[in-house]
Amino acid sequence: MKKIAFVLSLLMFIVGAISCSGSGKRPVEQTTIESETEEFVFTPTLILDLVSPGSSDEGIRLWVDDLEELNTIHAEIVNDSDQEVTYGEEFSLQVYTDDQWRELVPEDTIWKMIAFILEPGESVHRTYVLPQDGFTFDSGKYKLTIPSLNVSTEFTLVWTE
């Protein structure tokens, strides 16, 4: 009976971890756990562990709400001001290493000159793909900045076991 309770608890933990994560998977070997009746395979997954929503003096809020494919993040931008705001595609993504922020978006990135308008009280869900070939997220502390809105948010990624 204890084995069944353990297996069920383990299964609920796995389902919870998968439902909280993005679709990114860590490129490592899978772990197999066997019981007398069933075999379970675990694949470590990179998940959002801590998100610190950012806000600007102009009433704009920003936070990261999902991770996908190990090079793509999803964020929510909210206009809490009483004026429409305009922003573009440009973004900055930094990782905190060796007691300093290091830029991940190449300086020579070419951005489309397009303007998005966000009306007062509206929000928008944006997807940000890192334009650097071969980049994948790993565990650590990151900062997403939308320069034209003068707003940043920090988030932490961790691997599930």
Which sequence spans correspond to the domains of the chain? 2-42, 46-159
- Reply yes or no on whether the pLDDT at 157 is more than 70: yes
**What span, in angstroms and rounded, lies between the C-alpha atoms of 133 and 60?**
31
pLDDT at 53 (0 to 100): 85
Averaged pLDDT for residues 68-97: 92
Q: Average pLDDT, whole number, for the chain?
A: 77
- The percentage of the chain sitting over the pLDDT mark of 70, rounded to a whole number, equals 68
- Stretch among 111-115, 135-139, 155-159 having the lowest mean pLDDT: 135-139
Per-residue tokens: 2: 């204890």
46-159 fold: Immunoglobulin-like (2.60.40)
Burial environment of residue 161 by CB neighbours within 10 A (0 to 12, 13 to 18, 19 or more) = exposed
- Reply yes or no on whether the pLDDT at 145 is more than 80: yes
Run of H or E including 78: strand 72-79
Per-residue tokens: 79: 């206009």
What pTM was computed for the model?
0.70
Run of H or E including 51: strand 46-52
Report the candidate in 51, 152, 148, 140 with the shortest Cα–Cα distance to residue 93: 152
Residue pLDDT, tens place only, 54-67: 888 889 999 998 88
Residue pLDDT, tens place only, 89-130: 999 999 999 999 999 888 888 899 999 999 999 999 999 988
pLDDT at 26 (0 to 100): 37
